[in-house]
Amino acid sequence: MSTLLIGLVMVFIPHNASHYCLVDASWKDAKEDGGIGWSLYSKEGIQVLRGSSSIHSTNSSLEAEAISMSMAVQQMRALRANLNKPLESSVARRHTPLYRTF
């Protein structure tokens, strides 16, 4: 991640935050399926986890973005509940689209 983007993100997250999550959605029209994704970063800008999924068609790009935010919140809550366990076993146990990156 670029230094400029890290600097911009750091303006918006609390100074004591150790991680932040970015989300996005793709949308063409109300008749086609879309896609959503999220990435979890350390405060140094290192990607820790990411997830993505296809979604059924939505009425607007705004609705697709809202779904991507909801999915990211659900995934972050699931990860928070498993923070005391090794990350790999938490991910394997839950059937969620989580991927570890290096």
User: Per residue in 70-98, pLDDT tens?
Assistant: 988 888 888 876 654 544 444 444 434 44
pLDDT at 63 over 90: yes
Contact status, residue 20 vs residue 6, Cβ threshold 8 Å = no
Q: What is the pLDDT of residue 88?
A: 45
Q: What pLDDT does residue 99 have?
A: 40
Q: What pTM does this model have? A: 0.66
pLDDT (0 to 100) of residue 102 = 33
Is the pLDDT at 13 greater than 70? The verdict is yes
State the total domains in the chain: 1
Nearest to 34 by CA among 44, 46, 18, 23: 23
Question: 81 is in which domain, residue-wise?
Answer: 3-100
pLDDT at 87: 45
| Token pair in block for residue 44 | 């140094």
